[in-house]
Amino acid sequence: MTANKSQTMKTQLLILLLSSFAHIAEAGPVAPPTQPTSKPAPNIVWILVDDMSGHFGYQGEPLVSTPNVDRLAREGVVFTHAYATAPVCSTFRSALITGMYQTSIGAHHHRSSRGDLKITLPNGVVPIPQLFREAGYYTSNANAAGTRPGKEDYNFAYKKQDLYDGVDWSGRRVNQPFFAQFQLSGGKHRNIPSNYTRIRSELTTPIDPSIVDLPPYYPDHPVIREDWAAYLDSVNYTDIEVGKIINKLQEDDCLNNTVIFFFTDHGISHARGKQFLYEEGLRIPFVAWGSKLPESESVREDLIAHIDLAATSLDLAGIPIPTKMQGRSLFSNDFQSRSLVVSARDRCDETVDHIRSIRNKNFKYIRNYLPQRPYLQPCNYKDEKPFMPVLRQLHAAGKLNAAQSLIMADTRPIEELYNLELDPWELNNLAHAPSQQKRLRAFRGMLSQWELETMDQGRVAEDTKMYDSDMKPYVERVRRRQPEKAKTIERNIALMKRWQQAGK
């Protein structure tokens, strides 16, 4: 290379460097090199309560005092139209823990997979705790006190060790995020005398039965008033348990990086509540709380299904949502509100049934696929409740009014349609109203489409082999403690089979 050519290249390089410095000066000070940063993954906590409808303070119930749940609601996001896809615990929990409709995964019959025959999850469907573990989270499941394993009650074959690392987060590595579930007995307290006696001793002022406000479809009777008051006592006690969980998170310096979801598995265990698709059985409290939540309105009226919690929790943790999952992430940037929510009731213990419902805007549609059977078929679980003998006695004596007699009917209409804005108690069935026939046809189409798109397995009657397999351990367990009760269940089972053979 010649000297002139070398000098020319040096001059050009100098000019280039000088122009670069000038450009940087015009742009402002040079920022120091950035280091890769990563925000700590949030802890996710689910507080799940058994058998409670919308009777917390933030929901307007005047007889309770629920400051801890009210705090979560006040500081967090309240979903006012949250619905369970199933009104009984095991089917609800099977849907919850997979983010899938229980009807799509074959887990729609209450407490199935208890016998020799087991249901396995479809390919691509993985329980949520397993997905959290695979993403590096520590997973736990505990009772309200965090002292022993919490309720699972999933209607499919699984291994507990594949889902949970412990009963709380104390065993996790330093800075390891955790996914924790707490299972609260909730409304069940009132039906277990020893538990109820204990919780009443911890309440400042137990609820006075004489001042409770009963729904119009229940008769004003002392036993029913006492039962309802005991239920509200359980609401107050549940709030105490929630407060202890929050305090534990605070004491362990975890609260600031935790998202808490508070919700119930379905409504109150009463005649028209649990196991049925009326609002009392399906509409649930649902609150999200935590500084890690995206900015959102404090009250959201979106129609949501409880299976949306699975997708939401994964999304908040930065874990990919499985493509098969039917739940939707409630805080995602591309969230699309549901135009409808569908719920399903199938067999509960020994009682065979098949009901579907759709909530769409202000209307509820219910399809009874076994209309020749009574609403309150023989069911040992319900028949043991204190309100059931009262309802049956009053009905037999002709002392129930029209609204109170609805649930006691010997047969059911094939279709029910309610305007929830005008008829929140679902007392006036509009299915035969001429003005509602167009709407009725639309609901029929929506339900048929949903059943096909989600592969609703309830369209095919349960195999009697599976039914017998599930009932056998149930009956034997009862027989060891209460032989006469076991005989009652066996009579109920025989009746269900006779009805099925008769096409009823």
Query: Domain for residue 23, yes or no?
Result: no
Residue 179, beta-bridge partner list? 44, 139
Over residues 59-67, mean pLDDT:
97
The larger pLDDT score, comparing residue 263 to residue 191, is at 263
More confident residue, 204 or 499: 499
> Rounded to whole angstroms, how far apart are CA atoms 31 and 460?
66
Secondary structure of residue 416 in the 3-state scheme: strand
Answer yes or no: is 59 within a domain: yes
**275 within some domain:** yes
* pLDDT given for residue 194 in this prediction: 67
Q: Is residue 473 part of a domain?
A: no
Quick: pLDDT tens for 75-125. Answer: 999 999 999 999 999 999 999 999 999 999 999 999 999 999 999 999 999
Mean pLDDT of the chain: 91
Per the model's pLDDT, the better-predicted residue between 26 and 340 turns out to be: 340
CA dist 110 and 88 (Å) reads 7
448 falls in which pLDDT band (50, 70, 90)? very high
pLDDT mean over 344-368: 97
Q: Total structural domains in the chain?
A: 1
Asked whether residue 53 is domain-assigned, the answer is yes
Q: Does a structural domain hold residue 51?
A: yes
pLDDT one-digit tens code per residue, 407-439: 999 999 999 999 999 999 999 999 999 999 999
* Full residue range of the structural domain in which residue 311 is found: 43-334
Contacts of 206 (CB under 8 A, 6+ apart): 200, 229, 233
Please report the pLDDT score of residue 5 as a whole number: 37
Q: 399 in a domain, yes or no? A: no
Confidence of residue 38 (pLDDT cuts 50, 70, 90): low
Over residues 175-197, mean pLDDT: 86
What is the arithmetic mean of pLDDT over 123-134? Answer: 97
Q: Each residue of 290-314: pLDDT tens digit?
A: 988 988 889 999 999 999 999 999 9
Q: Determine, yes or no, domain membership for 102.
A: yes
CATH number at residue 157: 3.40.720.10
Size of the chain, expressed as the number of residues it contains: 504
66-76 pLDDT, tens digit per residue, is: 999 999 999 99
From CA 310, how far away is CA 99, in angstroms rounded? 5
| Model pLDDT, residue 295 | 83
